[in-house]
Amino acid sequence: MWGLIGGSGFENFEGFEVIEELDSSTPFGECSSGFKRVRVGGRELLFISRHGESHELLPSEINYRANIYALKRYGATKILSVSAIGSLKKEFEPGDLVVPSQYIDRTKSLRAHSFCGDGVVGHVSLAKPICPSLRMELDLLSKNFDFRTHFDATYVCIEGPYFSTQSESRFFQKIGASIIGMTNFPEYALAREAGLHYLPCCFVTDYDCWDDEIPHVTLAEILVLMKKNNGKAFHLLEVLLERGPKLDGCQCTEGGLKHGLLTPIEKLSKTQREHLAIVIE
C-alpha cells in the first residue's frame, strides 16, 4: 500500500475520497493531524499532511518518527513524499518537478531522527537514500507528463523556519546542492530504518536568493503556483497508483533496522520489543 506525505501546498487534494480518519497516537507521540485512509481511482492509500491539516507545525515541530511509524503500522510499504522546494539552479524553474537522489543535512539536531536510542542501538546505510526502483519507474512515466521533471538532484535540508541568507545560498551551491527545503530530513532516514520504499517528489515554488538578477516571486504568485503544483502531484499519484510498480528484488526492505539492529532483541524491554516489531517486521 502507498503512503502519501503531503507538504506545503499539498495538505489536501480535491480528488480524495476520505474513507476514515485514523488514530494518530504512536509510541513516539502524535503524528501530524489529518492522518486518514483515502481512495483515489478505486485504490486505497494512506495520507498524512506533514505540517498538519491546518498547517500548524513548523518544520522542526513535525513528529517525523510518529508519521513514519503510523504509516507503517497501518500497512504502508511505499512512501510518496511531496514537498515544496526552492531552486539553486536556473534550469530548475518554478513549477518543475525535481526528484532528489542525494541529501545534505544542515538541520541543527532539534529533530528526533531515529527509532534507535534509549537503550536501542542500530546503524543503517544512507548511501542511496531513496528507492532506486521507484525512481526508475517515475523516470519512465515522466516522459508523458506535461511538466518538466529533473532527476538525480541533491537536496539540502535546512532547519527553518527562516529561508537562507544569500551567503548560505551560495555556499549550498558550492557544496553541490541544487534544491533547498526544510522537511525531507529525517523523513527519508526514518523510512530507510523502517524498511520502506521512499520516493521524494519536490515541486519548485521559487528560486533561492543566490542571484540578485533573478526576480523573486511574491507570496500571491507562490500561492497560485502551489495550487498548480498540487494538481501536478495528484496526477503523478494517479499514474503511480494505476501503474502499481513492481518492487521484487529491491533492497530497501533489507537495508533498515531489520538487519541493522546491534542491540540483541532479548536485551530490550517488552515495550521496546513491541514498538520495534512494527519498524523491523
Q: Would you give the distance in Å from CA 250 to the centre of its chain?
A: 19
Nearest residue to 147 (alpha-carbon basis) of 97, 214, 212, 200: 97
Q: What letter would DSSP give residue 108? A: -
d(CA 136, CA 151): 10
Cell of 42: 478505486
Q: Where are the alpha helices (DSSP H) in 142-263?
A: 166-174, 184-193, 219-243, 257-260
Determine whether 206 is an active site residue.
Answer: yes
Nearest residue to 205 (alpha-carbon basis) of 98, 81, 84: 84
| SS3 state of residue 18 | strand
d(CA 281, CA 277): 6
Determine whether 105 is an active site residue.
Answer: no
Q: At what angle do helices 270-280 and 64-73 cross, to 10 degrees?
A: 70
Strand partners, 81: 5, 200
- Whole-Å CA distances, 76 to 88, 106, 139, 180: 32, 28, 22, 27
Which of 206, 211, 212, 248 is flagged as catalytic? Answer: 206
| SS3 state of residue 241 | helix
Cell of 205: 515554488
Which of 118, 146, 208, 212 is flagged as catalytic? Answer: 208
Q: Please identify every residue annotated as catalytic.
A: 206, 208
